[in-house]
Structure 1
Amino acid sequence: MILIADGGATRTSWSFIDDQSVFHFETEGYHPFFVDARYIAQSLQKALPGTLARHSGNIKAVYFYSAGSGYSKEADAVLEEGIAAVFHNAEIVLETDLLAAARALLQKEAGFAAILGTGSNSGLYNGSHITHNIESGGFLLGDEGSGSYLGKMVIAGYIRGEMPKELQHLFEDRYRLTPEQLINEVYTSKTPNRYCAGFATFAGDHIHHPYCRALAIANFDDFFKKIITRYPDYQHYSINTVGSVGYHLKDIFIQVAAQHKVRVGNIFPSAIEGLTRYHRGY
């Protein structure tokens, strides 16, 4: 019995695999920059399906692909300690969410993989490992193309009065927040990346409005200009993506990619099904 986890900042998708069956479930996201080991353990214990909770000691290995994994020994220790507190007898194997995306999208073929979810990342994959990665910078320094980046643009447009009046009224009816309250929420949230990403859905829900469409275009254009075009020979590769932002706004993503003369390959909403195929060997 093994577990595979695709851990983003907002949610973690899990796949339980034994000799004859597979089933999926979800928990919240466990980014080690924003939560500690105790929080992870408590959240996992509450969220595990009943049968799995009763047999957690029988899990032989947990392959945990995570946003935040690989940045430091301290961040990895948070993940490992939190997971090991629930799955006492399992080997804990930590890998990056970018490797999860590459394996899900490309299996054992070489190519270009990207994440466009709450956060963003990208890299060249040789069929086994990531060989070249341009750092996205994370929530504070970058994450172009992501939900948090788009959400920050939505928030900024509202608090600065740039948002058209008809959208401003819809925004106020939906969220019931003044600009001052909104700023306070951003700066006091325990998970500001996740909080800001929540406002990307406003742009998505009104994507046919020219203002929201322009924000989505700018989000992806920054992703290509500031990150993708910095890879050597980037136009030689098709770009494959996982994540809700790339998936739900894929028409705009494909349009912007074409403007940068980049071909688009697979676009998946999440990595977990592809990861399951990878670990099962087909």
Structure 2
Amino acid sequence: MILVVDSGSTKCDWIAVDKNGNQLLEKIRTKGLNPAILSEKKIKKILKKSTTLKDNRDKVTHVFFYGAGCGTENPRLMLKVILQEFFPKADILVDEDTMAAVYATISAPTEAAVVCILGTGSNCSYYDGTKLHQRVKSLGYTIMDDASGNYYGKELLRDYYFNHMPEDIRIAFAHKHNLEADYIKYNLYKQPNPNAYLAHFAEFMILNKDSKYILELIKSGIRRFAKNMILQYEEEIKTVPVHFAGSIAFFCQDEIKAVAEELGFKVGNFERRPIEGLVSFHTKTIV
């Protein structure tokens, strides 16, 4: 049994297939396993909570895990040790979520592209057809992650409390969410995964794109992301496409294309959920 895993900070999808790519179990979903944010104890608790994973742990021969927070060595190694302990008979690969986005969006295995993730968090890398290159080291969601779900959630909350929202949007936002200050601060400072909490506000933004305020909010975030991340590859984007993965990117395709035209880069493919492309890629590479 081969497990192909795509994990964000919010949720984690597991697909079990055989070596021919035939799905063996219903898709498994757990909470996100971001080792840069969660403790070892918390990750183990999430794994043990899944009855399906526990019941099949000894049948697993390979785990291909791609996730948020796996781009630096220490968190990646911590998660690999935990997965090896949980799946004792399996070969374990743990890699950053950007590589999942690469394999899911490129049109051919050796295609060069700039690949962006806009989901709960955000990231951008250049794939030369063989290797991944990053020129900006992420400092996490509190400082970076422009145009991500948690970025937009933070902007919505700030605009609500600073009275920068149009009144109709302000009323609708308050109707949709509990915006009491104590409740917000409790979730931000006393609960795990504050980035995922912030990101859940982004759904409101996607559902209200007919508002001029919302459209400019979306484009402003994408411009920031493009200037800080995509344009660092100013030479590469002259000749290669810029692909996007993640739910924010998928639902904001028109806005991304508009900003791309403004700033002069070519938009390529969009993939909401990279995991299907990962299954195909890995079942072809296992001997």
So what's the TM-score if we normalise by structure 2? 0.90
Separation in 2, partners of 1:19, 1:224? 39
Q: Which has the bigger relative contact order, CA under 8 A and spacing at least 6?
A: 2
In the alignment, what sits opposite 2:39? 36
In the TM superposition, residue 54 of structure 1 has moved relative to its aligned partner by 2.5
RMSD between aligned alpha carbons?
Answer: 1.9
Separation in 2, partners of 1:48, 1:236? 48
List per-residue Cα deviations over 1:60-105 (Å, max 9, x = no partner).
12111111113132x1233123323321221221111111111111
Match of 1:152 among 130, 151, 154: 154
In the alignment, what sits opposite 2:69? 68
Contact 2:36 2:70 in 1 (8 A): no
List per-residue Cα deviations over 1:140-167 (Å, max 9, x = no partner).
1110121111111111101111111111
Separation in 1, partners of 2:185, 2:41? 29
In the TM superposition, residue 218 of structure 1 has moved relative to its aligned partner by 0.7
Query: Which segment is superposed worse, 181-190 or 141-150?
Result: 181-190
Separation in 2, partners of 1:199, 1:55? 35
In the alignment, what sits opposite 2:125? 123
Aligned positions of 1:115-264 closer than 5 A: 115-233=117-235, 234-264=237-267
In the TM superposition, residue 36 of structure 1 has moved relative to its aligned partner by 1.9
Partner of 1:94, secondary structure, is strand
Contact 1:122 1:133 in 2 (8 A): no
Question: How many residue pairs are counted as aligned between the two chains?
Answer: 279
Separation in 1, partners of 2:142, 2:197? 13
Separation in 2, partners of 1:242, 1:70? 16
Separation in 2, partners of 1:55, 1:204? 38
List per-residue Cα deviations over 1:115-143 (Å, max 9, x = no partner).
11000111111223203443343201110
Quick one: which amino acid aligns to residue 72 of structure 2? Y
So what's the TM-score if we normalise by structure 1? 0.92
In the alignment, what sits opposite 1:78? 78
Contact 1:239 1:263 in 2 (8 A): yes
In the alignment, what sits opposite 2:5? 5
Quick one: which amino acid aligns to residue 222 of structure 1? R
Q: Determine if the alignment matches structure 1 residue 276 to structure 2 residue 279.
A: yes
Partner of 1:3, secondary structure, is strand
In the TM superposition, residue 177 of structure 1 has moved relative to its aligned partner by 2.1
List per-residue Cα deviations over 1:185-214 (Å, max 9, x = no partner).
323332111111111111111111111111
Matched residues, percent identical? 29
The 1:48–1:97 alpha-carbon spacing in structure 2 relative to 1, beyond 3 Å, is farther
Q: Determine if the alignment matches structure 1 residue 88 to structure 2 residue 62.
A: no
Match of 2:112 among 98, 110, 113: 110
Separation in 2, partners of 1:145, 1:173? 24
Separation in 2, partners of 1:79, 1:204? 33
Quick one: which amino acid aligns to residue 171 of structure 2? H
Separation in 2, partners of 1:189, 1:45? 20
Contact 2:37 2:69 in 1 (8 A): no
